[in-house]
Chain A
Amino acid sequence: MSDTLTVTNPAAASAVAEAPRTFGIAAEFSSAADLYHAAEKCRDHGFRIWDVHTPFPIHGMDEAMGLGNSKVSLIALAAACTGTVLALMLEFIPSIWLYPLVVHGKPLDFFTVPAFFPVIFEFTVLCCAFGCVFGMLALNRLPRWNHPLFNWERFAKFSDDGFFLSIEADDPKFQETRTKEFLEGIGAENITLIYE
């Protein structure tokens, strides 16, 4: 009877065709230390697209996960340089070249730069801060409406007392059964397949 239903009901048929894609596998660990060591094993096993989720920052976790230096600093540097150059142009082009403005008898060449320094400094810092914040958001692919991990009810504990590890299906080493076995092997609990 159910067979006939799926065949005859067009809505149900399309639902079958668009079966939810696997996002990855998530698992829970009982403590921060367990998660730390699990992260080291994940790193050594060669996973690339994976993450840990904890209620608080864990010291040395970036090393345990094998994360390198953040790329945010490069973005910040580029943004800061842009800010410096922009501020220099915004001040020198109008006040020195287009409409020379003598204030306090200060020189009309490069050596009037002390007057422009506060603005150059502030604009550099502003651009650098923007570079940091927006660079960080972009690298984290934020903001976003939702994340597949929130489909798992138990995952809500990540902001309370849960220590989670998730391996995404996009990882080249990801294979549903073998990854599950791997997680079991490193002492994970509540291993769950997450759908998008």
Chain B
Amino acid sequence: MSAVATIPAAKSPKVEYFQTNNLGPVFFRLLAFGAVSLLIFLVMTLFASDPQAKRQILFSLLFAYSYFFTITSGALFWILVHHATDAEWSVVVRRVLETMAQSFRYGWVFFLPVVIFAPQVYAWLDVPVGRDPVLDPKRGMLNYPFWTLRAFVIIGGFALIAFLLRKWSAAQDRDGNPRYTVITRKLVFASIPFFALGITFAAIDWLMSLDYYWFSTMWGVYIFAGASWSAMAMLIVITVTLRKNGYLEGLVTDEHYQIMGKLLLAFTIFWAYIGFGQYFLIWYANIPEETSYFIRRNAEHWNWMSTGLVVLHFFVPFLLLLSQSLKRNPGYLRGVAVYCLVIHALDLYIIVLPALHYKDVSFHILDLAGLVMIGCTLAFFFLKNLAKFPLYPLRDPRLKQSINLKN
């Protein structure tokens, strides 16, 4: 009974595809950097003699993977919000978000070593039953089969949602059937609880359980705040770059930049609010089992980084993004967004690495190599995927409102 007539595409904007013909050098560079980083990893793995060196490899992978996992989850979050709220402004950039969210499909490969060698990373896997009275009641959650199953369900579920969202969005490009908008919304409403639980459990399983003594009820929201913040920054970087290369002409305007800048500012504040809320309650209550996380991060040079994070993750972007006219300047906005992506790496560095370098900060080449390796791989697939479908949803019912957006 699908008797809905085929609706012609809106005539004003032209059908636009991302061209990869002249991107050969870019692809080559991405593959070259990725290969060099992979080589560094392999060499380090071959020559890793002591347990600490082996753990460094896994921790660097975990750090880099969580960095890109959070950004990808944030992209998925923005699509979910777009459909759930029936938003207008984000229609023109939705395909970019949809393509970003496909990264779940490729990123898990880099997480696999962490899953396989999990006992090297997560101390609770190494403690025999009955040894630690703090751990034993938590075994229901913290056991290898269930932990692995959760990782599988989270990444698989997110990948599936992202896949369906893009599939239906691209299907609408072909026939303009509004039914896709409706079924997408149904999928989105079903996905929101799954997404919320998924990112919370990912945060708890992969990051919080690095120290199984410690717990924080704000943790899932804290990771989510950083995820949606960094994803918005990534969206800005990609959109402005596309626009500067002549794509999305007449579709993405200053109004869209202003909205994206506003959301980046809003999530800067949201991150600070959640981060401070978590820190404040633990700092004030001063209960030993809660303070361990911050005591470790407020010692030696970790303290410099933690204090720096407060300034660099909140105050600096907050002040940079306050002005309305500056947010409408694409070059400026992209600069701030790149800065935000760097600071998001600092945020996750402070979360992951103190579990390995308990006493003091100790940078390792693998921390950078991990980021480059996963980043280049995901960027490669992102560009390939971006070219597969039109650059924006051609026949979305709200496309026109999105183009004629006014703040």
Provide the bound-state CA to CA distance between A104 and B287, in Å.
12
CB interface residues, A 17-36, toward B, < 8 Å: none
Contact partners of B276 in chain A: CB under 8 A:
114, 117
**A117 & B280 in contact (Cβ 8 Å cutoff):** yes
Q: Is the CB of B322 within 8 A of A77?
A: yes
- A-B CB pair tally, cutoff 8 Å: 18
The reply to whether B286 and A59 form a contact with Cβ atoms under 8 Å apart is no
A77 to B318, CA, bound (A): 13
A69 engages B324 (CB within 8 Å): yes
**Interface size bracket, B side:** 10 to 19
Q: Does B214 contact A (CB under 8 A)?
A: no
Judged by a CB distance under 8 angstroms, whether B174 is at the interface is no
Give complex CA distance A60, B407 in Å. 9
Q: Is B406 an interface residue (CB 8 A)?
A: yes
Cα A29 to Cα B322 in complex, Å, equals: 39
Known: A59-B406, A60-B406. Contact between A115 and B284, CB under 8 A?
yes
Q: What is the total number of residues of chain A having a CB less than 8 Å from a CB of chain B?
A: 11
Q: Closest residue of chain B to A73, judged by CB? A: B324
In the bound assembly, the distance between CA atoms of A59 and B322 in angstroms comes to 24
| Inter-chain contact A114/B406, CB cutoff 8 Å | no
- What A residues does B325 contact at CB under 8 A? 69
Known contacts A60-B406, A104-B284, A104-B286; A114/B324 CB under 8 A = no
Known: A59-B406, A77-B322. A114 touches B280 (CB 8 A): yes
Q: Mark A69-101, 1 if CB is under 8 A from B, else 0.
A: 100010001000000000000000000000000
Q: Does B270 contact A (CB under 8 A)?
A: no
Residues facing A in B271-308 (CB within 8 A) are 276, 279-280, 283-284, 286
* Minimal beta-carbon separation of A119 from chain B (angstroms): 12
> A36 to chain B: closest CB distance in Å?
13
A105-B284 Cα distance, complex, nearest whole Å: 10
State A118–B322 Cα separation when bound (angstroms). 21
Chain A residue with minimal CB distance to B307? A111
A73–B283 alpha-carbon span in the complex (Å): 35
In the bound complex, CA of A115 to CA of B325 (Å): 35
Interface residues of A in 106-142 (CB under 8 A from B): 114-115, 117-118
Chain A residues with CB under 8 Å of B322's CB are 77
Chain A residue at minimal CB-CB distance from B276: A117
A75 to B280, CA, bound (A): 31
B324 partner residues in chain A, CB cutoff 8 A = 69, 73
Residues on B with C-beta less than 8 A from A59 are 406
Assess the B286–A114 pair: CB atoms within 8 A: no
Measured between alpha carbons, how far is A2 from B280 in the docked complex, in Å?
Answer: 83
Residues on B with beta carbons closer than 8 Å to the beta carbon of A114: 276, 279-280, 283-284
CA of A28 to CA of B279, assembled, Å: 59
Q: Which residues of A contact B406 (CB under 8 A)?
A: 59-60
Q: Which residue of A lies closest to B279 (CB)?
A: A114
Q: Which residues from A are CB-within-8-Å of B280? A: 114, 117-118
A118 to B283, CA, bound (A): 14
Q: How far is the CA of A60 from the CA of B255 in the complex (A)?
A: 13
- Complex CA distance for A83 and B279, rounded to whole angstroms: 23
The smallest beta-carbon distance between B149 and chain A, in angstroms, is: 39
For the complex, give the distance between the alpha carbons of A23 and B280 in Å: 58
> Which residue of chain B lies nearest to A59 when distances are taken between CB atoms in the complex?
B406
Nearest chain A CB to B214 CB, angstrom units: 19
B residues less than 8 Å from A117 (CB atoms): 276, 280
- Kindly identify, within residues 371 to 407 of chain B, every residue whose CB is under 8 Å from any CB belonging to chain A: 406
Q: What sequence of 0s and 1s flags, for each residue 317-332 of chain B, a beta carbon within 8 Å of any chain A beta carbon?
A: 0000010110000000
Min CB–CB distance A80 → chain B (angstroms): 10
Q: Closest B-chain residue to A111, C-beta based?
A: B307
State the CA gap A105–B286 with chains docked (Å): 10
Distance of B13 from chain A, by nearest CB (Å): 21
A contact residues around B279 at 8 Å (CB): 114
Chain A nearest CB, measured from B300 CB (Å): 16
How far apart are the CA atoms of A60 and B284 in the complex, in Å? 49
Sampled A-B contacts (18; CB under 8 Å): A59-B406, A60-B406, A69-B324, A69-B325, A73-B324, A77-B322, A104-B284, A104-B286, A105-B286, A114-B276, A114-B279, A114-B280, A114-B283, A114-B284, A115-B284, A117-B276, A117-B280, A118-B280
- State the 3 A-B residue pairs at the shortest beta-carbon distance, nearest first: A114-B280, A114-B283, A60-B406
The interface of chain A, by Cβ under 8 A from chain B, is 59-60, 69, 73, 77, 104-105, 114-115, 117-118
Q: A73-B324, A114-B280, A114-B284 are in contact. List 5 more A-B contacts (CB 8 A).
A: A69-B324, A104-B284, A105-B286, A114-B276, A114-B283
